[in-house]
Structure 1
Amino acid sequence: MAVPQNKQELLDAINTNYERLLCVIRRVPAHWVNECTLEGHAKGTQMSAANLIAYLLGWNELVLKWLEADAADKTIDFPETGFKWNQLGQLAQKFYGDYEGIAFAQLLDRLDTAKQQIVSIIQSHDNADLYERLWYERWTMGRMIQFNTASPYENARVRLRKWLKAKGL
């Protein structure tokens, strides 16, 4: 899928990539969701399918935090308070820990809720808000949302498909 250039393309990318991801997630047997055999987000680490969903949930909730701060005219601490962009592996580990112990089905429900909230916020903005002015350094709001929703959904789908194929599914 091409990089979204406007509001409708962003909504389409988020919804399409999310639905494609769900199709693959549904193929993961329940007894495998906590098995740490997927390549992790930090070099040399392993994660589970549950960790992968926690990672997506962490980013979705972070995007919501950014959007809420923006709406309140507050300064946004990108990517997250206490983390720099070159520490995303550590941020991934934080997300795994933040959602540890939450049942896989609940993680999926929370991810769905966060994704729907993001879509709702996007719908409340016009194209100019999303794509015609810089929001963070050289990136527009739409591009920052896409970097942290649609793109990770697709990356997660590819990771899960590769993992399931290696396991014979």
Structure 2
Amino acid sequence: MSSIPQNKHELLAAIQTAYTKITIDYTSIPAEHTRTYGVDGNSKGTQITVCDTLAYLIGWEKLVLKWYKNKKEGKSVDFPEKGYKWNQLGLLAQHFYTQYQDASYPALLNEFEQVTAAIIELIESLSEQELYGTAWYKKYTLGKMVQYNTASPMKNMRTKIRKFKRTNGL
């Protein structure tokens, strides 16, 4: 498999693999460490918490589902999100952290599991043509947009989580 999925099978495998690996890391972190700053943030020089990383992943996966639903229903889609431009992703990440600041670690893990399952269910419901046969947003196929906002950030976040675990002796 290439590093970037080229078809439905590879996309499903990439998401399932990334999800499984990061979940193993998440479940090995004691809850009392999950609101401790020390994870490298998405904006240069910032620090976030383990819970913030989950909020980020959940936020992007929910956006993917929202984009798909709105586009399928013929509604306009605000990319990446209403009130944010692509050059404001740091602000969007901050929005996700704030949105989930009061959620417990188990609740975040549960929501991450549910929204990832919904992404997988969506992919399974679509044809190869729908995922990779045509441009969906600008020059990007739906499959690429899903991958860029699910498996890729999971892999990126897992690197940061593993560094946090090492730094904190977890």
Amino acid paired to 1:17: A
Moved over 4 A (4+): none
Please give the per-residue CA displacement for 1:76-125, whole angstroms capped at 9, x wherever unaligned. 11100111111111100000001110101101111111111111111111
Please give the per-residue CA displacement for 1:20-39, whole angstroms capped at 9, x wherever unaligned. 00111112121100001111
Moved more, 17-26 or 67-76: 67-76
| Number of the residue aligned with 1:6 | 7
Which whole-Å CA distance do the structure 1 matches of 2:27 and 2:139 have between them?
Answer: 37
Which whole-Å CA distance do the structure 1 matches of 2:168 and 2:111 have between them?
Answer: 27
Amino acid paired to 1:126: S
Which whole-Å CA distance do the structure 2 matches of 1:107 and 1:163 have between them?
Answer: 18
Which whole-Å CA distance do the structure 1 matches of 2:28 and 2:156 have between them?
Answer: 16
Residue 70 of structure 1: SS of its match in structure 2? Answer: helix
Which whole-Å CA distance do the structure 2 matches of 1:6 and 1:33 have between them?
Answer: 35
Please give the per-residue CA displacement for 1:45-87, whole angstroms capped at 9, x wherever unaligned. 2100000000001111111111111221222111001111111
5 Å matches for 1:18-167? 18-167=19-168
Which whole-Å CA distance do the structure 2 matches of 1:131 and 1:138 have between them?
Answer: 11
Which whole-Å CA distance do the structure 1 matches of 2:6 and 2:154 have between them?
Answer: 18
Cα offset, 1:44, TM superposition:
2.4
Moved more, 119-128 or 38-47: 38-47
Gaps of 5+ in 1: none
Query: How many residues are treated as equivalent by the alignment?
Result: 169
Instruction: Tell me how large the CA RMSD over aligned residues is.
Output: 1.0
Amino acid paired to 1:105: P
TM-score scaled by length of structure 2: 0.96
Q: Percent identity?
A: 41
